[in-house]
Amino acid sequence: MEIFELPITIEESDNYRKFTNRLKVLGAVDWVKAYIWAVVYIVIFFAIGFMLAGKYVISIVHYVPVCVWGLGFILVWIVSAIRRSGNKQLKALMQKYIFAEFAEKIFSGEMRLSRIKIVKNKMIVYCKVYND
């Protein structure tokens, strides 16, 4: 495994970390996609709940106020949007800071991205290298 440390500006690092900046990155289409994923997560959650304990889930749904379900859904929607914006910001940073040789190795299959971390003023890229 190879580790690359790429310097980024402090402003970009702060924009990646701040909650409001993460939500500002998203456009209308991204919000709709986050909404769709929130619905998928809720359906999966309820399906698992009904499979494991159907009658208890029905009684919980019956006694919990509607406003609590609405707030829960909005929370799941925001978390889904934050994950989406993080991916979008990482993609923009990768396009800005990745050099041509590095991208060529990825597209040729010599290496595969494993993980990307933003730490203070640098971007740490973990790659698996395949030596054939």
Tens of each residue's pLDDT in the chain, 132 residues: 788 888 888 888 888 888 888 888 888 999 999 999 999 999 998 889 888 887 888 888 889 898 998 999 999 999 999 988 888 888 888 888 777 777 777 778 788 888 888 888 888 888 888 875
Contacts of 15 (CB under 8 A, 6+ apart): 21, 89
Is residue 15 within 8 A of residue 73, CB to CB? The reply is no
pLDDT of 18 reads 85
Total structural domains in the chain? 1
Question: Could you list the residue range(s) of the whole structural domain that residue 67 is in?
Answer: 2-129
Is residue 36 within 8 A of residue 75, CB to CB? The reply is no
Report the length, in residues, of the chain.
Answer: 132
- DSSP assignment letter at 99: -
pTM of the model: 0.71
Kindly calculate the radius of gyration of the chain based on its CA atoms and give it in whole angstroms: 20
